[in-house]
């Protein structure tokens, strides 16, 4: 039989939990049980790999100390790792005995937390041990306390050795119903590497910088594409609705509200060219809003009506302006 002890305290000399698990380990070894100790504070950078060690154990002891509030961060990390990386099938066959000593208050709640956590993971519970110990020296002065610890170790050995059955717990039902978490198929080495990356500030910072760089690059690409779309705005509609007028040669400059550069329309018989920019001495200069040019493209208005109605300002040859309504025949086609 093999039992693993996972100690979640800080390893202080006056930690009463250390005395208890040392006594438990002694009793178990006298019963020819192989005991392996894992001090989480010494293994804090590889806690994510520790659930793999449960595979070789028949039972485990989760031991921690309540110094001010709760079971402590190291034990929480270990339980999180069991939930994410642990072999749930092996955990379901593994007994767990919680040992929680308190130097302040909350040992009963800590013990209950460990028991509930293990049951939610699907594991088998053993009767645990908890107590308020302000000074570990009380163990040396009180033999009854020592006998309680020894008795608890013997009961744990008996429970695991005889594989005593446990009544179903509602925690396990909740897990099966709504708290199913997919196993992460990672080797211990991959899990440890993942933990190292997560705790490496320089690596995390570098990743954030890379993400920001990619975000900036993507934004620039989108901005370029949007800029291209803006530079091509209205040009496609004019090009698709062009009707050649023999003998017509003219240059139109259309200033549209909101556009930095005017739209230049160059016509020479069957040839036609469009771009946003500037030109010298256009035949006709026009100023209009986006709404007005939309009305023209949707065939709700003509160039001549826009000018006559005051929706468009114009400078140049009016005859050439009127020719626009023959050169561009819009039929109400949507954009």
Tokens 């803006």 belong to 230
Shared domain check, 215 and 169: no
Between the alpha carbon of residue 123 and those of residues 10, 116, 166, 210, 220, the distances in Å are 26, 10, 10, 42, 53
Please tell me the predicted confidence (pLDDT) of residue 335.
43
Q: What is the mean pLDDT of each run of 10 residues along the chain (335 residues)?
A: 96 93 95 96 92 95 94 95 92 95 93 94 92 89 92 94 82 57 56 57 73 73 54 85 91 90 92 91 93 91 90 90 91 57
Residue 7: inside a domain? yes
Strand pairing partners for 252?
265, 284
Answer whether residue 280 is part of any domain: yes
Are 144 and 272 contained in the same domain? no
Residue 314's beta-bridge partner residues? 286
188 falls within a domain:
no
161 and 242 in a single domain? The answer is no
pLDDT at site 197:
58
100, 110 Cβ separation under 8 angstroms: yes
For residues 209 and 245, state if they share a domain: no
Same domain flag for 216 and 312: no
CATH of residue 114: 3.40.50.360
Query: Would you state the pLDDT for residue 334?
Result: 46
Instruction: Verify that 40 and 176 share a domain, yes or no.
Output: yes
Q: Count Cα neighbours of 119 within 13 Å in the Cβ-side half-sphere.
A: 19
Q: How far apart are CA 215 and CA 282, in angstroms?
A: 43
Domain count, the chain: 3
Query: What is the C-alpha to C-alpha distance for residues 330 and 303, in angstroms, rounded to an integer?
Result: 11
Residue 243 placed within a domain: yes
Looking at the fold, whether 136 and 34 belong to one and the same domain comes out as yes
Instruction: Give dist(CA 45, CA 131) in Å, integer.
Output: 30
- Is there a single domain that holds both residue 91 and residue 178? yes
Are 213 and 134 in the same domain? no
CB 150 within 8 A of CB 144: no
Question: 8 lies in a domain?
Answer: yes
Q: Are residues 14 and 91 in the same domain?
A: yes
Q: Is the dihedral of CA 73, 74, 76, 81 positive or negative?
A: positive
On whether both 241 and 226 belong to a single domain, the answer is no
Helix (H) or strand (E) holding 74: helix 73-85
195 in any annotated domain: no
* pTM tops 0.85, yes or no: no
Query: Do 41 and 10 touch, CB atoms closer than 8 A?
Result: yes
Residue range of the domain that includes 170: 2-182
Looking at the structure, tell me whether residues 72 and 108 fall in a common domain.
yes
What span, in angstroms and rounded, lies between the C-alpha atoms of 335 and 325?
A: 19
Residue 261 near residue 229, CB atoms below 8 Å: no
Rounded to whole angstroms, the Cα distance separating 56 from 75 reads 20
Residue 75 lies in a domain: yes
* 15 in Cβ contact with 134 (< 8 Å): no
pLDDT at residue 232 in the model: 78
């Amino acid at each position: 039989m093999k039992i693993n002890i996972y100690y979640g305290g800080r390893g202080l000399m006056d930690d009463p939990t250390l005395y208890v698990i040392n006594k438990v380990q002694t009793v178990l070894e006298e019963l020819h049980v192989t005991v392996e100790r894992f001090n989480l504070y010494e293994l804090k950078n590889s806690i994510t790999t520790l659930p793999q060690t449960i595979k070789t154990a028949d039972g485990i002891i989760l031991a921690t100390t309540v110094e001010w509030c709760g079971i402590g961060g190291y034990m929480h990390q270990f339980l999180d790792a069991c939930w994410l990386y642990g072999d749930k099938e092996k955990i379901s066959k593994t007994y767990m005995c919680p040992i929680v000593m308190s130097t302040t208050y909350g040992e009963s709640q800590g013990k209950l937390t460990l028991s509930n956590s293990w049951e939610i993971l699907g594991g088998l519970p053993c009767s645990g041990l908890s107590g308020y110990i302000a000074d570990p020296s009380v163990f040396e002065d009180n033999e009854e306390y020592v006998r309680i610890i020894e008795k608890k170790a013997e009961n744990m050995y008996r429970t695991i050795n005889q594989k005593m059955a446990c009544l179903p717990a509602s925690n396990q039902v909740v897990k099966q119903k709504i708290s199913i978490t997919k196993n992460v198929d990672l080797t211990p080495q991959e899990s440890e590497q993942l933990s190292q990356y997560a705790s490496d500030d320089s690596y995390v910072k570098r990743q954030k910088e890379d993400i920001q760089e990619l975000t900036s690059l993507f934004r620039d690409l989108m901005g370029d594409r949007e800029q291209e779309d803006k530079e091509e705005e209205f040009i496609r509609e004019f090009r698709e609705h062009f009707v050649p007028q023999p003998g017509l040669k003219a240059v139109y400059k259309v200033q549209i509200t909101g556009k930095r550069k005017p739209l230049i329309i160059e016509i020479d018989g069957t040839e036609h060219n469009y771009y946003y920019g500037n030109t010298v001495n256009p035949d006709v200069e026009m100023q209009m809003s986006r709404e007005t040019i939309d009305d023209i493209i949707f065939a709700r208005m003509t160039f001549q009506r826009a000018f006559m109605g005051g929706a468009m300002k114009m400078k140049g040859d009016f005859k050439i302006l009127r020719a626009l309504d023959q050169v561009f025949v819009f039929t109400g086609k949507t954009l």
